[in-house]
Amino acid sequence: MAIDYNNYLTDDQKANIITQRLQQFAGEAYQHEINKKVAEDNNDNDLVKQSTDAIQAINKAIAVHESELATLTLTQPDTE
């Protein structure tokens, strides 16, 4: 029997989780970009490839998370 986790989280809670994960992904991608620059400066083709592959994987993860975020119905904050 599968558990429906959607029953335990509101869309706003899901959005907060996704936003946190997107920030984490951005931090990881930034680190890999720096690693790639160092590898390029050192002519380390293996590390360049590893960094490039990691960046591509993170970009795919970001795209999935952004798509999920777009499906959520978020509450509007009170402006009063």
Which tens digit of pLDDT belongs to each residue from 45-68? 999 999 999 999 999 999 999 999
Domain count within the chain: 1
pLDDT for 5: 85
What pTM was computed for the model?
0.84
pLDDT for 78: 63
Whether 79 maps to a domain, the answer reads no
Indicate the DSSP class of residue 74.
Answer: P
Q: How far apart are CA 24 and CA 77, in angstroms?
A: 25
Whether 10 maps to a domain, the answer reads no
Whether 61 maps to a domain, the answer reads yes
Whether 12 maps to a domain, the answer reads no
Mean of pLDDT values over 21-29: 98
pLDDT for 12: 94
Whether 24 maps to a domain, the answer reads no
pLDDT for 6: 83
Q: 55 lies in which domain range?
A: 29-34+43-71
